[in-house]
């Protein structure tokens, strides 16, 4: 999904890889261009794909900014020295979790939003199939849901890697892999993008989609019969981030983009695009339907461990070996 000129003929301006929903990518592009007059080439990709591209282009980056997508992948890029340190203009207005994330990245990545993981089911389909309503992670392994669940693939989807890391932190690693093996029998499809499962549930193509809860809220607001579940055992969450790529050609514009994305005005583009994440700037307005993270039972998500390259690649290898071989 590409917004603007093609990558090969990118004019001086700003090249951004976008890891949030397409609607937000476009709204942010338009708002920044209107504010600064700087033209953006914005390309939407899944978080894992963005990390792969930035690694591949390490010596000759074509991208200036990575905006959105799960923070543990940004931390991984920071560890691999792929990101440029920058002290943003609005750093002091950041909520504590965002300030903590910024220091964890060594000043190379800034938190722009937070969102809790969960799942949603289509109430109409549930009634049609005469199935019980799931309320916990463990419920999803029930044989009644065989072929009725979609989840992202953690190799490409930051959402699904958050799911994998969440289950490991909730249940312990071996128990988490036993759980995912049982869940795998019920999964009809692993999607490339993390929001795709709840979009499929919203359209009635699958009964249950595992995703971030804010993505499900957006679908519900659009009129779909989704019921959103914060799993009873507890759940993990993401910090979505923004980073400047080391070796960026358009450094000044990249810094302006980071400043804008952390400002109340830049953060308001999320709600304007129908998104429901919790903004990181304390002065930004919370979207009215954003899930109240303080009311959800959360794991103490270990971003440092699960953002480390070795741990990520080890867990993905185990997932590919034991749960779902990469095609």
Kindly state whether residue 183 falls inside one of the protein's structural domains. Answer: yes
Kindly state whether residue 297 falls inside one of the protein's structural domains. Answer: no
* Helices 71-79 + 47-56 axis angle, to 10: 20
Which pTM value belongs to this model? Answer: 0.89
Regarding whether 252 and 205 lie in a shared domain, the answer is no
Regarding whether 186 and 317 lie in a shared domain, the answer is yes
Taking residue 297's Cβ as centre, other Cβ atoms within 10 Å add up to: 11
Kindly report the average pLDDT of the chain as a whole number. 94
* pLDDT (0 to 100) of residue 12: 61
Kindly state whether residue 101 falls inside one of the protein's structural domains. Answer: yes
- CA–chain centroid gap for 154, Å, is 11
Q: How confident is the model over 102-112, as a mean pLDDT? A: 96
Kindly state whether residue 327 falls inside one of the protein's structural domains. Answer: no
Segment 153-207, tens digit of pLDDT: 999 999 999 999 999 999 999 999 999 999 999 999 999 998 999 999 999 999 9
Regarding whether 21 and 87 lie in a shared domain, the answer is yes
* pLDDT (0 to 100) of residue 327: 59
Regarding whether 313 and 226 lie in a shared domain, the answer is yes
Three-class SS state of 111: strand
Regarding whether 313 and 278 lie in a shared domain, the answer is no
User: Residue 248 pLDDT more than 80?
Assistant: yes
Regarding whether 102 and 144 lie in a shared domain, the answer is no
Structural domain range at position 258: 2-115+238-291
Regarding whether 313 and 214 lie in a shared domain, the answer is yes
* pLDDT (0 to 100) of residue 46: 92
Regarding whether 173 and 106 lie in a shared domain, the answer is no
Segment 287-311, tens digit of pLDDT: 988 988 888 999 999 998 998 999 9
Separation of alpha carbons 284 and 271, rounded Å:
10
Kindly state whether residue 301 falls inside one of the protein's structural domains. Answer: no
Q: What is the CATH number of the domain that holds 18?
A: 3.40.190.10
Regarding whether 101 and 122 lie in a shared domain, the answer is no
User: Residue 41 pLDDT more than 50?
Assistant: yes
Kindly state whether residue 303 falls inside one of the protein's structural domains. Answer: no
Regarding whether 258 and 224 lie in a shared domain, the answer is no
Kindly state whether residue 188 falls inside one of the protein's structural domains. Answer: yes
**What percentage of the chain reaches a pLDDT higher than 90?**
91
DSSP H helical ranges for the chain? 22-36, 47-56, 71-79, 96-104, 123-129, 158-171, 173-184, 196-202, 213-221, 251-262, 264-272, 303-306, 309-322
Regarding whether 209 and 127 lie in a shared domain, the answer is yes
Regarding whether 147 and 276 lie in a shared domain, the answer is no
Kindly state whether residue 178 falls inside one of the protein's structural domains. Answer: yes
Q: How many domains does the chain divide into?
A: 2
């Amino acid at each position: 999904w590409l917004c603007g000129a093609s990558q090969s003929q990118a004019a001086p301006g700003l090249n951004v890889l976008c890891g949030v929903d397409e609607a937000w990518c476009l709204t942010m592009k338009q708002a920044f261009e209107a504010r600064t007059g700087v033209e953006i080439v914005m390309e939407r990709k899944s978080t894992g794909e963005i990390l792969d591209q930035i690694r591949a282009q390490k010596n000759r980056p074509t991208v200036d900014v990575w905006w959105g997508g799960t923070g543990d992948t940004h931390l991984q890029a920071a560890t691999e020295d792929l990101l440029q340190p920058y002290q943003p203009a609005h750093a002091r207005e950041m909520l504590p979790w965002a300030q903590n994330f910024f220091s964890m990245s060594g000043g190379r990545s800034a938190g722009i939003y937070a969102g809790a993981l969960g799942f949603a089911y289509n109430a109409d389909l549930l009634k049609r199939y005469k199935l019980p309503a799931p309320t916990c992670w463990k419920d999803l392994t029930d044989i009644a849901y065989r072929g009725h669940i979609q989840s992202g693939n953690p190799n490409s989807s930051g959402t699904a890697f958050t799911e994998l890391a969440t289950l490991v932190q909730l249940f312990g690693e071996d128990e988490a892999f036993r759980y995912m093996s049982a869940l795998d029998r019920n999964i009809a499809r692993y999607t490339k993008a993390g929001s795709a499962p709840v979009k499929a549930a919203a359209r009635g193509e699958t009964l249950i989609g595992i995703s971030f809860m804010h993505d499900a809220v957006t679908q519900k607001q659009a009129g779909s019969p989704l019921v959103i579940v914060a799993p009873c055992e507890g759940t993990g969450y993401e910090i979505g981030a923004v980073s400047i790529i080391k070796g960026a050609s358009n450094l000044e514009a990249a810094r302006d983009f980071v400043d804008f994305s952390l400002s109340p005005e830049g953060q308001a583009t999320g709600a304007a695009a129908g998104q429901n994440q919790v903004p990181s700037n304390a002065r930004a307005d919370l979207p009215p339907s954003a899930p109240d993270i303080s009311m959800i039972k959360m794991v103490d998500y270990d971003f440092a461990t699960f953002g480390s390259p070795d741990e990520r690649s080890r867990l993905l290898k185990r997932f590919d070996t034991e749960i779902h071989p990469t095609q």
